[in-house]
Amino acid sequence: MAGWFGGGGRRRAANLPEGPLKRYLAAPIPSGRTPLAELSLLAVDMETTGLDPRSDAILSIGWVPIEATTIVLGGAGLVLVSGEELGATGVGQSATIHGLTDDRLAAGEPLGEAVGELLEALRGRVLVAHHAGLETGFLTAACQRLWGVRPDVAVVDTMRLQQRIVAPGFDDEPRSDELRLWNARARFGLPVMGAHDALDDALAAAELYLAQVAELGLESEPLRSVRS
C-alpha cells in the first residue's frame, strides 16, 4: 500500500478535515497484483489553459469509470471549473483549442468542488489517461494548493501502452504521431470523436485502454505490469 502514496502525504492526510481528499486517501487502492480483468479504473481527461501545472489552470474535467473490461457510462461525469481564478486574462488563446469561453466557465464550479468531485469518482480506482502526466500533474498540484497534500496517484498511461504496440523492441523508436490519441484509436478502428472535450477525450482513452489490453493479451496480467 505504501507504494501508492508517499508516506508523508498519507501521514498528513490524517490531519485533513473531512472531505474528498481525506476519503480518497483512506480508500483501499487495488493491489499491484490485481489482474487487469478485475480492476476498477477511471479514465480521466482535463482541459487546461496550458501544459504547466505551476502556472496554468484546469478548465474542465471529464471522467468515465471502467469495471474490469466494461465501460460504465452511467458513472461518467463532466465538470466545468469557474474562471474566477483566471484573472483579467481569462482563458486567453487556449480557447481556440478547447472551445471553452469565459462566459461558459462563468457557470462553472470552484476548483475545490470540481477536484473534489473527481476525487470522489476516483476513490478506490486506478486513473487511466493518455499522456497521463498532464492529468496527474494538474490533479496533484491542485490538491497541494487546496489542501496542502500532494498525493501520489495509481496510474495507467495509454500512451505508454501504445508504445508497446507500435515499438515492441528494446531499440524501436515510435514516430511521435503514432502515439497521439486519435492515431492510436485509428489503429484499432475506433471511431473518430470530437477532440478537446474533456468527457469525449476521457471516453476515448477508456475505449483505447480496453483495445490495447485485448491487443497485448494483458487481461490476466497484474496491474504492476502496466502502471506508470
Element (H, E) at 22: helix 20-26
Q: What is the pLDDT of residues 86-115, one digit of tens each?
A: 664 666 566 545 667 667 777 899 999 999
CA distances from 204 to 5, 7, 36, 40, 64 (A): 27, 33, 19, 17, 10
Mean pLDDT (whole number) for 185-205: 91
Average pLDDT, the chain: 87
Q: Which CATH class is domain 7-225?
A: alpha beta
Task: State residue 41's pLDDT score.
Answer: 98
Domain ranges of the chain: 7-225
Amino acid at 58: I
The three three-digit cell numbers of residue 51, written as one number:
501544459
Say which residues have a Cβ less than 8 Å from residue 198's Cβ, sequence separation at least 6.
Answer: 45, 46, 47, 60, 61, 62, 78
Given its phi and psi angles, is residue 82 left (phi above 0), alpha (psi -120 to 50 degrees) or beta?
beta
Task: State residue 187's pLDDT score.
Answer: 94
Reported pTM: 0.89
Per-residue pLDDT at 4 exceeds 50:
no
Task: State residue 60's pLDDT score.
Answer: 95
Higher pLDDT, 97 or 42: 42
The answer to whether residues 45 and 201 touch, using CB atoms and an 8 Å cutoff, is: yes
Cα–Cα distance between 111 and 103 in angstroms, integer?
A: 17
The answer to whether residues 207 and 185 touch, using CB atoms and an 8 Å cutoff, is: yes
Mean pLDDT (whole number) for 206-227: 97
The three three-digit cell numbers of residue 53, written as one number:
501545472
Per-residue pLDDT at 63 exceeds 90:
yes
Q: What is the pLDDT of residues 105-161, one digit of tens each?
A: 778 999 999 999 999 999 999 999 999 999 999 999 999 999 999 988 999 999 999
Q: How confident is the model at residue 58 (pLDDT cuts 50, 70, 90)?
A: very high
Q: What is the pLDDT of residues 11-26, one digit of tens each?
A: 556 778 889 999 999 8
* DSSP calls for 85-139: GGGGGTTGGGHHHH---HHHHTTSB-HHHHHHHHHHHHTTSEEEETTTHHHHHHH
